[in-house]
Amino acid sequence: MGKLKQNPIIKQLGFNRIILFLVMLFIYLIFCVLIPNFLGLSHVMSMLNYVCFLGFLALGVTFVIATGGIDFSIGPVMFCCALISGYTLNQHGVPMAAALVICILVGTLFGGFNGYMVAYWDVPPFIISMASMNIAKGLASVYTKTTTVSWPQSADPGGWFRNFLKVGNVPVGLIIFLIAAVVCSVILNNTKPGRYILGLGSNREAVRLSGVNTKKWEMIAYIICGTLAGIAAIFFAAAYSTVQPGYGDQYNNEAIAACVMGGTSMIGGLASIGGTVIGTLIIALIQEGILAMKLTKDVQLIITAIIVIAAVYIDVSARRRKN
Amino acid sequence: MGEVILEMKQIDKSFPGVHALDHVDFNVRRGEVHALMGENGAGKSTLMKVLTGIYKKDSGSIIYEGKETEFHNAKEAQDAGVIIVHQELNMVGDLTVAQNIFLGREPRKGLGIDDKKMIKDSRELFDHLKIEIDPMEKMSDLTVGKQQMCEIAKAISHDAKVIIFDEPSAALTEKEIEDLFIIIRDLKKRQLGIVYISHRMDEIKQITDRVTVMRDGTYIGTLMTKESTKDEIINMMVGRIIYEDPKQQSACPPDAPIVLKVENLNAGKMVKNVSFELRKGEILGFSGLMGAGRTETARALFGADPKQSGTIYINGEKVDIKSPQDAVKYGIGYLSEDRKRYGVVVGRSVAENTTMACLDNYLKGFLINKRAEKNVSDEYIKRLATKTPNSEELVMNLSGGNQQKVVIAKWLARDCDILIFDEPTRGIDVGAKNEIYKLMNQLVSEGKSIIMISSEMTEILRMSDRIVVMCEGEIKGEIDISEATSENIMDKATRNIS
Ligand SMILES: Nc1ncnc2c1ncn2[C@@H]1O[C@H](COP(=O)(O)OP(=O)(O)OP(=O)(O)O)[C@@H](O)[C@H]1O
Ligand SMILES: [Mg+2]
């Protein structure tokens, strides 16, 4: 086992990533055996709907967790983005392109708010993101007067935005998500923001004393997270059309689960985008499998929770062994 | 010296890419102080971690009190009476001193913890050891030296038969070292076996009975301290003899331009009206006892802590330094005394740490030029003889002294004009220490200026062109190197204490 880990190819890909990938295949196989027709196109396509929006949430929160922080607001923020922009689209007749920009901007603003509070006011991320979660829900309700917002169908004017998700049976959304993941990975590992985000997650004081503006970079992590939540909202709207105010909490947990499962450490300083991608696929797989088995959503919640606990436990105990 | 209480035979241990221990033998007798010496990365800490069950050995045997034993974790070793005081501090900063000392074995009272007893017992322990620390104080408020004394007190409070001190003196003042030696002599009298790791030759001569030397993970030999000379030991360690000559006179011309001028700096409780000047090409030594306010002065100057008042001029121009960022922009670098907390980012690689302060020089558009980064990092690994498998290695896997070299590399890579070195050779072996001295002399000859804070008198006398002595937050005097002696420095450093 130790030798295997030293193999350069395996080292490059990451031993844990490979294990996780095998776990994913294993789960897939089980579902294929249990559920007739699980390999069929309809299941795959519906799974991809889920992967796209959840994937963007998970990519974003990876940056925040890398700083040693946490963001529990991304799910409701995603809903808030889709609601505000969708309502503006329907009621005020702005063009679709403008609505999409608004959608992303709302996410960016929330990210900026969270980041500013955490970095400059020293509010614990846990607290501020809980507050933001409620602000996001409240704001969306007030703005939409607590009505459900429906985004245009493909045939409607402005329905072109659905092409981001898929064109016929071509999973455009998945391709965009994978490209975004590559970009995120490059940002995290090969650029200044990524370097400082990981560094400050590992030892903030040492990075600050190297003459780095740690507050700024920490805030940027949250801004990236918020912006990606705004993008996630577009994919959510494209996949599910209607958005209802007051929901979204569940997706925080799933995104965080995907991220932690992928090997990003809750303590900060260690993150893997590849892991987050595989983690997202696993969560989407489980959700689809459970729905296909005609179990309720609640079962899925329980299973996700168990996965989070297991992933965090493995993360913490690996760390303990190291010390 | 009594019979052998602990024997390690043919201990072998590898980490990925590093053969840290290559069939090493080592033993400890009752009532002896046994020095373990060797260069940075020789494997001293690793050997002791294998002994105390923190690392699992690959092969070899450990015989403790006549029985073959293997401890599976530090707790097991502790319960059996083998206690280690680690090189890196392991205290929980947010807890009080007493809570730290009784961590994991808190006295109970009903369902809760008996705080009163804990505090009382800690106080007794400190009294017994004649250490002045308030058990109710928060750990993170203590100086590094005091924290180290707490670690030592904690170790002694266990019912120990063997105590391992891994570079205990690195963070201590001369006075605290004296106290430590009194404690160690007492332990020795009580027939404990003691392992003492240090890079300071004079301490080895003073306190130890035998010396075992390691090099590159192998056992070189064991000598009786009394029958061996300093040169002999150094020779075993590094295979060459290093000469340390104190500076006779200042190498900096008296009319060299003033690069840094500090006027009436006040910050926190420990920096009172500090004023001094630093010339181009000068090494300005800051001497004084630990807690004299030298580190606090440096931190305030560097913008790491807020200042209340004071003016700073760089090259004659008044500057406003509010944060480390400003300081770095004005060409100041600060090498902290507490490397684990303020120096290295242990969870990241050597290369990343090296370019941490000058990342902008290694950007190609948006991207980091990893090739250039690796090159510069490799260059400093070579120049400072840092022991690491490669520049990708996480800093946490390096030995203590080699971590220090990574911090030095960080500031050298930044190419600052003014460098503040706070205890630059803490935990660095004799060979590397000399390399760092050479490097400092080379830096000043290139026209850089250095403020060197050091608690080691020999270091102050050897390196400084001029010496500033601090005591209780104030500057008590300035001595040119040609007139400096350890007596007149100590005299100033302790003037209002006695
Ligand atoms: N957990 C680890 N993983 C990988 N390598 C390690 C680990 N711990 C130690 N090493 C390596 O083993 C070697 C011996 O390290 P060790 O800490 O024992 O040195 P040391 O003699 O205590 O040095 P110093 O005087 O600098 O404290 C070093 O090359 C170090 O990089
Ligand atoms: Mg060591």
Please give the helix or strand (H or E) that residue B471 lies within, else none. strand B466-471
Q: Which atom of ligand 1 is the closest one to the Cα of B47?
A: 18
Is the backbone of residue A43 left (phi > 0), alpha (psi -120 to 50) or beta? alpha
Please name the CATH architecture into which domain B258-493 falls: 3-Layer(aba) Sandwich (3.40)
Decide if A199 and B352 are in contact by the 8 Å CB cutoff.
Answer: yes
Ligand 1 atom closest to the CA of B44, numbered from 1: 21
Taking the Cβ of residue B368 and every Cβ of chain A, the question of whether any pair is shorter than 8 Å is answered with yes
| SS3 of residue B337 by DSSP | coil
Q: Say yes or no: CB of residue B41 within 6 Å of ligand 1.
A: yes
For chain B, residues with pLDDT lower than 50 are: 497-498
The token duo for B358 is: 């000058």
When CB atoms are compared, the residue of A191, A205, A210 closest to B356 is A210
Residues in contact with A5: Cβ distance below 8 Å, sequence separation at least 6, in sequence order = A11, A15, B16
Phi then psi for residue B456, to 5 deg, are -95, 115
So what's the pLDDT on residue B55?
Answer: 92
Nearest CA to ligand 1 atom 3: B397
Q: Whole-model pTM?
A: 0.83
Per-residue model confidence as pLDDT tens digits over B412-432: 999 899 999 999 988 888 777
Q: If you measure CA to CA, which chain A residue comes closest to B373? A: A190
CA distance A296 to chain B (A): 42
Query: Quick check: A199 and B16 CB within 8 A?
Result: no
What is the identity of the amino acid at B361?
N
Class of domain B4-238: alpha beta
Identify the pLDDT of residue B21: 94
Interchain CB distance below 8 Å, A212 and B347:
no
Cβ <8 Å between B356 and A199? yes
- Where in the sequence of chain B do the CATH 3.40.50.300 domains occur? 4-238, 258-493
Q: Which ipTM score applies to this complex?
A: 0.88
Average of pLDDT values for A208-212?
95
Contact B329 A211 (CB under 8 A): yes
B432 lines ligand 1 (CB under 6 A): no
Q: Are the CB atoms for A227 and A110 separated by under 8 Å?
A: no
Query: Cβ of B178: how many Cβ atoms within 10 Å?
Result: 12
Tokens of B229: 């000379």
A322 CA: nearest ligand 1 atom: 1
What does each C-alpha distance from B404 to A184, B15, B174, B373, B462 come to in angstroms? 33, 20, 21, 19, 20
Whether B327 contacts chain A with CB within 8 A: yes
User: Which residues are CB-neighbours of B106 under 8 A, at least 6 positions away?
Assistant: B99, B113, B114, B118
Residues of B in contact with A196 (CB under 8 A): 359
Task: Say how many C-beta atoms besides its own lie within 10 A of residue A320's C-beta.
Answer: 8
pLDDT the model gives residue B468: 95
Average pLDDT over residues A55-82: 96
Quote the pLDDT of residue B495: 66
Identity of the residue numbered A6: Q
Residues of A in contact with B367 (CB under 8 A): 186, 190-191
E strand or H helix that includes residue B211: strand B210-215
Which DSSP string do the residues of B370-394 spell out, in sequence order? HHHHHHHHHHHHHHTT---S-TTSB
H or E element, residue B266 = strand B258-267
pLDDT band at residue A12 under the 50/70/90 scheme: low
Beta-ladder partners of B214: B219
What is residue B103's three-state secondary structure?
Answer: coil
Q: Is B324 on the interface with A (CB under 8 A)?
A: yes
Tens of pLDDT, residues A19-54:
888 888 998 999 899 888 888 888 888 899 999 999
Residue B324 to residue A191, Cβ atoms within 8 A: no
CATH 1.10.3470 fits A41-314, yes or no: yes
Provide the angle, in degrees to the nearest 10, between the axes of the packed helices B400-414 and B430-445.
10
pLDDT in the model for residue A318 = 64
Do residues B66 and B4 make contact, with C-beta atoms less than 8 angstroms apart?
A: no
Q: Is B404 in the pocket of ligand 1 (CB under 6 A)?
A: no
Say whether pLDDT at A180 is over 90.
yes
Task: Give residue-wise pLDDT tens across range B332-389.
Answer: 999 998 888 899 999 999 999 999 999 999 999 999 999 999 999 999 999 888 999 9
CB contacts, 8 Å: A201 with chain B: 347
How many residues comprise chain A?
A: 323
Q: Are strands B258-267 and B309-314 parallel, antiparallel or unpaired?
A: antiparallel
CA dist., res. B155 & res. B382, Å (int): 38
Per-residue model confidence as pLDDT tens digits over B267-300 = 988 899 999 999 999 999 999 877 789 999 999 9
Residue of B nearest to A2 (CA): B16
Closest C-alpha to A73, from A138, A15, A154:
A138
Rounded distance from Cα B177 to ligand 2 centre (Å): 18
Q: Which position has the higher pLDDT, A296 or B475?
A: B475
CB contact under 8 A, A199 and B345: yes
Q: Is A120 helix (H, G, I), strand (E, B) or coil?
A: helix
Contact call for residues A279 and A262 (beta carbons, < 8 A): yes
Q: Which ligand is in closest contact with the Cα of B401?
A: 1
For chain A, say whether B109 makes contact (Cβ under 8 Å).
Answer: no
Contact yes or no for A192 and B359 at CB 8 A = yes
B23: nearest Cα among B259, B222, B161, B214: B214
The whole-number average pLDDT for the span A234-247 is: 93
Residues of B within 8 A of A202 (CB-CB) are 345-348
**Does residue B347 sit at the A interface (CB-CB below 8 Å)?**
yes
Smallest CA–CA distance from B299 into chain A, residue: A209
CB B335 within 8 A of CB B421: yes
**Contacts with B245 (C-beta within 8 Å, 6 or more apart), sequence order:** B462
Out of B166, B399, B430, give the residue to mutate to test ligand 1, the one with the largest number of ligand atoms within 8 Å of its CB. B399
Q: Which atom of ligand 1 is nearest to B214's Cα?
A: 21
Nearest CA in chain A to B304: A209
Q: What is d(CA A98, CA A228) in angstroms, rounded to the nearest whole number?
A: 17
Structure tokens belonging to residue B425: 């050779």
Cβ(B219)–Cβ(B36) below 8 Å = no
Q: Please state which of the ranges A77-86, A95-104, A179-188, A259-268 shows the lowest mean pLDDT.
A: A259-268
Residue B176 corresponds to which amino acid? Answer: E
How far from chain centre, in Å, is Cα B79?
Answer: 28
Q: What is the pLDDT of residue A91?
A: 92
CA distance A24 to A249: 25
pLDDT of residue B498: 45
CA distances from B172 to B176, B244, B340 (A): 6, 22, 16
- Around ion ligand 2, residues with a beta carbon closer than 5 Å are B 45, 87, 399-400
Calculate mean pLDDT across residues A113-122.
96
pLDDT per position as a tens digit, A163-178 = 999 888 889 999 999 9
Residues of chain B with Cβ-Cβ distance to A120 below 8 Å are: none
User: Using CA atoms, how far apart are residues B25 and B221, in angstroms rounded to an integer?
Assistant: 9
Ligand nearest to the CA of B381: 1
Give, for ligand 1, the residue of B11, B13, B14, B18 to mutate: max count of ligand atoms closer than 8 Å to Cβ.
B18
